[in-house]
Chain A
Amino acid sequence: MKEKSLIVDNFKSRYIPNTEEQQEIMLESIGLKSLEGLFDDIPQDVKLKRKLDIPEPMTEYELLKHMQGMTSQNVNTEDYCCFLGAGAYDHYIPSVIKHMLSRGEFYTAYTPYQPEISQGTLQAIFEYQTMICELTGMDVANASMYDGASASAEAVLLACSSKRKKRVIISRTLNPEYKNVIKTYAGFNNIEVVEAGYKDGVTDLSGLNKIITDDTAAVVVQYPNFFGAIENLNDISDITHKKGSNLVVATDPISLGILKPPGEFGADIVIGEGQSLGNPLSFGGPYLGFFAVTKELMRKMPGRVVGQTTDLDSKRGFVLTMQTREQHIRREKATSNICSNQALNALAATIYLTLVGKKGLKQVAELCLKKSHYAYDKLIETGRFEPAFKAPFVKEFVLKINESNKTNKLIQNTSNKLIQKLNSKLLEDKIIGGYDLGKDFEEMNNCWLLAVTEKRTKSEIDILVDKAHLGSDDE
């Protein structure tokens, strides 16, 4: 009789197919008596001589129950009505996307290093690059970056390396997450970051004119900006290019359904957050950063790029190209360290843009535009809010609590955390309210940034208008 195995323990995992018997045969074939023997090169002193102190394994059913329990501790945008944006948006995601993304051929493949068996991923990226160029009005797009914020930081690095200058100007109206990530990356590369102020919700042109210098590598603005307002790209472009700087524009891809693309204003680098294009909110990630440049800058661009070519039989096919910019070839001289990007999120964006198509994207943007203006007008009508600015907007806008209205149900309660209180109260009515701008902008206390996507109905907006106060509903 065979002795009870001391070689391998009897742990079973449905993800590890080799049986104990097979493990023993394999050990024998390499001349070992125990699994322990495989790890002889590891000094005894550094071996872990106990079990890891982590939870005991669960069955699939236990796991699902456990995770469902965890999700019940969260409020979600399917059960609640969401007016929160500020860089991540509750747009509708067509059902097709989840079905396509759950094909193992897409999501369990890796970076297409072997083009002969990766044409699916490669062609989809080629289609994605085309769509991003079309949306932004730029010449070349890469295969994606981690998110809008890291894309903005990489744009700053690209501008600085192409201009051989170490100073950039960022508008105060830029998304605070982008500003902070730019400052982190810039700080470690000795790049000076200067902030340009704003006036009436958009970058102050005369202020920009004063601080821009000949040694400025780039001016970074957002279009529409963090407050939802449409920046004056024409004049900003003139001011920027007169000093020989690069214009970097962060943009919202849905708004580009109706807005003139940044490329037409002469932008040199256009980046943005692509989450709106078919990607769920997912508590902030994974999203995708898109990154597009002019022909002049393409050889310094970070990230993977797919190009068209032919095979031995002259058949059209796609490969990763311009790889001499990349870390695996150039090591420390690479244009960036990026390797894995957000390919599956870029695929979601590609399918989204395919489904909405040439006319649909404009229609989605128009719905956002009309609904957000309806919400804006109605909320102002209540007398509880006043416009923070007059600048035109697409899907997001800023309201300020009207402190001159003495009967305002919002200010009877004297506190500087009115927006926070207002949002808490709205939650009781299953409404996720807007972003509290006072958190990031000291001058914007009691200012509320609301996003209205195509998903919001008139009746949802009417309920928001009705409930957006701190008094009792019976008053």
Chain B
Amino acid sequence: MKNRDLIFELSSPGRVGYSIPECDVPSKNIKDLIPEEYIREKPPELPEVSEVDAVRHFVGLSRLNYSVDNGFYPLGSCTMKYNPKVNEDIATLKGFSSVHPYQSEDTVQGCLELLYKTGEILAEITGMAKISLQPAAGAHGELTGLMIMKAYHINNGETGRKKIVIPDSAHGTNPASAALAGFEVVQIKSNEKGGIDLAALKSVMGDDIAGLMLTNPNTLGLFDENIVEIAKTVHDAGGLLYYDGANANAILGITRPGDMGFDIVHLNLHKTFSTPHGGGGPGSGPVGVVKKLIPFLPLPSIELREGKYHFNYELPLSIGKVKSFYGNFGVVAKTYAYILSMGSDGLKKASEVAVLNANYIMNKLKAYYELPYDRKCMHEFVISAQKQKEFGVSALDVAKRLLDYGIHPPTVYFPLIVKEALMIEPTETESKETLDGFIEIMTNIAKEAKVDSDSIKKAPYNTSIRRLDEVKAARELILRWVKF
């Protein structure tokens, strides 16, 4: 049985979905232009459908998706805030979307101005000296930031700094990025309040440590009160502090990583700055650094000289290129538009209300779900389904049951240090009415877990498809359609 036909299964020989122009130049035979051994014999097995077939197919697929435009999406650490529509229009203005990246500088002054000004604004927001907009996503920003860290130590002759300290609450991308930048990972435990265990940090710091990667507020949604001492500890040992900006939506205009003592910051424009997540990208992960690290930023940098914007590729200490061209320009354009719509007061208000919304839900849910760290949270918090586990209902079951109520579930089983974790991030773009509706549903599910755990374990019931067999997918590995 099928949920929906694949586009290939709709194919009918002879149909076309595209109008190909006539060849208006003297036509030559392909074989006269390309040696026969390089000419494709069998065409790729692409579908043959009309335009209307294609439109109905993809509209049909879209209707199988849940999105922010459909409803509440409290997916922790992903900041699924509303994506302003005018920003989409702006990114597709022909003066942005139809500009070739290799046009001469004098024909792209508008694009360069946008990149330059966005960099300046993000530097002010983070308290960094300079920003590079090159990285294409958060993890790419992490990688770039860690390369900068490594290049800095090597340039100082400190080639022995081969390890990065990462707390056990960190995103999986942190250790993966560290490995990709050629570092070893030293993991340290969190303390009873969910923050960095200072004693553990002090015990690992030494001249083999390049730095510490920290998310603050961390993945539990908690702000580390010891941040000043943490920074001092790392700096005293000659290390650098890396700020994972995944949770920056809690701090806009309230505090800045630079003021907390961080040396390198990455931001996720698709989280904090409202650019859409696109079903898994495109994102953008700018990296900011303090003054002493500017020479190591990736190529090219954009500079303003005598009223004109220029690329600078002549930076001898730079880590080099991390991406083609100049980053995900279209995403940066939406960010710039967002910031211009919000201003300083608006950004601060966004963070305040994001934090208020999270605390409001947390406070109402703690009677029904275990709250492992019962203190004020920032823009997100983690509860546990441990109480429900007594009735055989897991965090995954709670998540799946939420689908029946038309809500996107929280992030589950993360962070790893909380059992049966449900990580909830409402963002500032949700109304009290939406939050109250969610609280009611979560309360209902907690009650259902007690009285009818069996049916929760088979949820969802109201979706276009029911629970999928992931083990079978991993065993059979059917990764493409094949024509029979």
Give Cα A155–Cα B175 distance, bound, in whole angstroms: 20
Q: Which of A213-221, A355-363, A380-388 contacts B (4 or more CB under 8 A)?
A: A355-363
CB contact between B101 and one of A72, A98, A258, A284 (< 8 Å): that residue: A284
For chain B, residues 303 to 326, give those with C-beta under 8 angstroms from any C-beta of chain A.
319-326
Question: A331, B34: Cβ atoms under 8 Å?
Answer: no
Task: Write out the residue numbers on chain B whose beta carbons fall within 8 Å of the beta carbon of A414.
Answer: none
For chain B, residues 86 to 105, give those with C-beta under 8 angstroms from any C-beta of chain A.
86, 88-104
A117 and B40 contact, Cβ closer than 8 Å, known pairs A57-B342, A75-B107, A104-B70? no
B203 at the interface (CB under 8 A from A): no
Give A245 Cβ to nearest chain B Cβ, in Å: 22
Q: Which of A40-48, A203-211, A236-244, A402-410 contacts B (4 or more CB under 8 A)?
A: A40-48
Task: Write out the residue numbers on chain B whose beta carbons fall within 8 Å of the beta carbon of A9.
Answer: 345, 349
A124 and B58 contact, Cβ closer than 8 Å, known pairs A88-B102, A307-B473, A316-B3? yes
Task: Write out the residue numbers on chain A whose beta carbons fall within 8 Å of the beta carbon of B460.
Answer: 116
Give A389 Cβ to nearest chain B Cβ, in Å: 14
Question: B75, A110: Cβ atoms under 8 Å?
Answer: yes
Question: A72, B356: Cβ atoms under 8 Å?
Answer: no
Question: B48, A359: Cβ atoms under 8 Å?
Answer: yes
Q: How large is the interface on A (under 10, 10 to 19, 20 to 34, 35 or more residues)?
A: 35 or more
Task: Write out the residue numbers on chain B whose beta carbons fall within 8 Å of the beta carbon of A362.
Answer: 40, 43
For chain B, residues 11 to 40, give those with C-beta under 8 angstroms from any C-beta of chain A.
11, 15-18, 20-21, 23-28, 30, 33-35, 37-40
Task: Write out the residue numbers on chain A whose beta carbons fall within 8 Å of the beta carbon of B2.
Answer: 315-316
Give Cα A11–Cα B175 distance, bound, in whole angstroms: 40
Give Cα A374–Cα B28 distance, bound, in whole angstroms: 9
Task: Write out the residue numbers on chain B whose beta carbons fall within 8 Å of the beta carbon of A379.
Answer: none
Question: B408, A117: Cβ atoms under 8 Å?
Answer: yes
Give A401 Cβ to nearest chain B Cβ, in Å: 18
Q: Which of B299, B322, B355 has the most chain A CB atoms closer than 10 A to its own CB?
A: B322
Give A336 Cβ to nearest chain B Cβ, in Å: 7
Question: B283, A39: Cβ atoms under 8 Å?
Answer: no
B245 at the interface (CB under 8 A from A): no
Give A17 Cβ to nearest chain B Cβ, in Å: 4
Give Cα A242–Cα B187 distance, bound, in whole angstroms: 43
CB contact between A357 and one of B18, B55, B321, B480 (< 8 Å): that residue: B18
A74 and B108 contact, Cβ closer than 8 Å, known pairs A230-B38, A337-B143? yes
CB contact between A108 and one of B51, B277, B345 (< 8 Å): that residue: B277
B119 at the interface (CB under 8 A from A): no
Give Cα A105–Cα B321 distance, bound, in whole angstroms: 34
A473 at the interface (CB under 8 A from B): no
A394 at the interface (CB under 8 A from B): yes
Interface size on B, residues (CB 8 A): 206
Give Cα A90–Cα B100 distance, bound, in whole angstroms: 8
Question: B44, A131: Cβ atoms under 8 Å?
Answer: yes
Task: Write out the residue numbers on chain A whose beta carbons fall within 8 Å of the beta carbon of B38.
Answer: 230, 233, 259-260, 392
A109 at the interface (CB under 8 A from B): yes
Task: Write out the residue numbers on chain B whose beta carbons fall within 8 Å of the beta carbon of A70.
Answer: 95, 110, 113-114
Question: B15, A357: Cβ atoms under 8 Å?
Answer: yes
A367 and B108 contact, Cβ closer than 8 Å, known pairs A285-B325, A347-B279? no
Give Cα A343–Cα B275 distance, bound, in whole angstroms: 14
For chain A, residues 6 to 37, give those with C-beta under 8 angstroms from any C-beta of chain B.
9, 11, 13, 15-18, 22-23, 25-27, 29-30, 32, 35
Per-position binary interface string of chain B over residues 453-484, scored 1 when its CB falls under 8 Å from any chain A CB and 0 otherwise:
00000101001111111101110111111000
For chain B, residues 276 to 302, give those with C-beta under 8 angstroms from any C-beta of chain A.
276-284, 298-299
Question: A114, B66: Cβ atoms under 8 Å?
Answer: yes
Give B236 Cβ to nearest chain A Cβ, in Å: 18
Per-position binary interface string of chain B over residues 47-61, scored 1 when its CB falls under 8 Å from any chain A CB and 0 otherwise:
111010011011101
A445 at the interface (CB under 8 A from B): no
Give Cα A187–Cα B333 distance, bound, in whole angstroms: 31
A283 and B326 contact, Cβ closer than 8 Å, known pairs A11-B345, A119-B64? yes
Give Cα A143–Cα B279 distance, bound, in whole angstroms: 11
Task: Write out the residue numbers on chain A whose beta carbons fall within 8 Å of the beta carbon of B51.
Answer: 94, 96, 355
Give Cα A301–Cα B427 distance, bound, in whole angstroms: 34
Question: B472, A309: Cβ atoms under 8 Å?
Answer: yes
CB contact between A286 and one of B98, B180, B330 (< 8 Å): that residue: B330
Question: B39, A259: Cβ atoms under 8 Å?
Answer: yes
Q: Which of A29, A120, A157 has the most chain B CB atoms closer than 10 A to its own CB?
A: A120
A119 and B61 contact, Cβ closer than 8 Å, known pairs A16-B353, A54-B125, A147-B324? yes
CB contact between B340 and one of A63, A73, A339 (< 8 Å): that residue: A63
A199 at the interface (CB under 8 A from B): no
Task: Write out the residue numbers on chain B whose beta carbons fall within 8 Å of the beta carbon of A94.
Answer: 17-18, 51
Give A128 Cβ to nearest chain B Cβ, in Å: 10
Task: Write out the residue numbers on chain B whose beta carbons fall within 8 Å of the beta carbon of A311.
Answer: 465-469
Give A109 Cβ to nearest chain B Cβ, in Å: 4
Give B437 Cβ to nearest chain A Cβ, in Å: 13
Give B250 Cβ to nearest chain A Cβ, in Å: 9
Give Cα A109–Cα B260 distance, bound, in whole angstroms: 33
Question: A18, B357: Cβ atoms under 8 Å?
Answer: yes
Task: Write out the residue numbers on chain B whose beta carbons fall within 8 Å of the beta carbon of A313.
Answer: 1, 466
Q: Which of A22, A25, A41 has the most chain B CB atoms closer than 10 A to its own CB?
A: A41
A471 at the interface (CB under 8 A from B): no
Q: Which of A56, A141, A337, A374 has the most chain B CB atoms closer than 10 A to its own CB?
A: A337
Give Cα A120–Cα B150 distance, bound, in whole angstroms: 41
For chain A, residues 408 to 441, give those with C-beta under 8 angstroms from any C-beta of chain B.
420, 423-424, 427, 432, 435
Give B179 Cβ to nearest chain A Cβ, in Å: 4
Give Cα A71–Cα B458 distance, bound, in whole angstroms: 53
Q: Which residue of A lies closest to B58 (CB)?
A: A100
CB contact between A51 and one of B98, B253, B259 (< 8 Å): that residue: B253
B337 at the interface (CB under 8 A from A): yes
Task: Write out the residue numbers on chain A whose beta carbons fall within 8 Å of the beta carbon of B359.
Answer: 30, 32, 38
Task: Write out the residue numbers on chain B whose beta carbons fall within 8 Å of the beta carbon of A256.
Answer: 40, 44
Per-position binary interface string of chain A over residues 146-160, scored 1 when its CB falls under 8 Å from any chain B CB and 0 otherwise:
111110000001000
Q: Which residue of B lies closest to A335 (CB)?
A: B176
Question: B280, A281: Cβ atoms under 8 Å?
Answer: no
A52 and B125 contact, Cβ closer than 8 Å, known pairs A57-B342, A116-B465? yes
For chain A, residues 79 to 115, give those with C-beta under 8 angstroms from any C-beta of chain B.
79, 82, 84, 86-88, 90, 94, 96, 98-100, 102-115
Q: Which residue of B lies closest to A458 (CB)?
A: B24
Task: Write out the residue numbers on chain B whose beta carbons fall within 8 Å of the beta carbon of A71.
Answer: 93-96, 110
Per-position binary interface string of chain A over residues 341-355, scored 1 when its CB falls under 8 Å from any chain B CB and 0 otherwise:
111110100110111
Task: Write out the residue numbers on chain B whose beta carbons fall within 8 Å of the beta carbon of A127.
Answer: 6-8, 481
B448 at the interface (CB under 8 A from A): no
Question: B35, A339: Cβ atoms under 8 Å?
Answer: no
Give B355 Cβ to nearest chain A Cβ, in Å: 5
Question: B282, A116: Cβ atoms under 8 Å?
Answer: no
Give B209 Cβ to nearest chain A Cβ, in Å: 15
Question: A52, B323: Cβ atoms under 8 Å?
Answer: no
A130 at the interface (CB under 8 A from B): yes
CB contact between B172 and one of A13, A319, A327, A350 (< 8 Å): that residue: A327
Subset of 22 A-B contacts with CB under 8 Å: A15-B350, A42-B255, A45-B228, A63-B337, A86-B102, A107-B88, A119-B465, A120-B64, A141-B479, A146-B137, A150-B323, A286-B136, A287-B324, A312-B467, A315-B3, A316-B3, A337-B140, A340-B138, A341-B281, A355-B17, A359-B48, A360-B18
A283-B326, A286-B331, A312-B467 given; name 11 further pairs at CB < 8 Å.
A22-B431, A32-B359, A46-B227, A57-B345, A68-B95, A114-B66, A119-B65, A119-B464, A308-B479, A356-B18, A369-B33
Top 7 closest A-B pairs, CB basis?
A: A71-B95, A284-B325, A104-B69, A57-B343, A284-B101, A344-B278, A73-B110
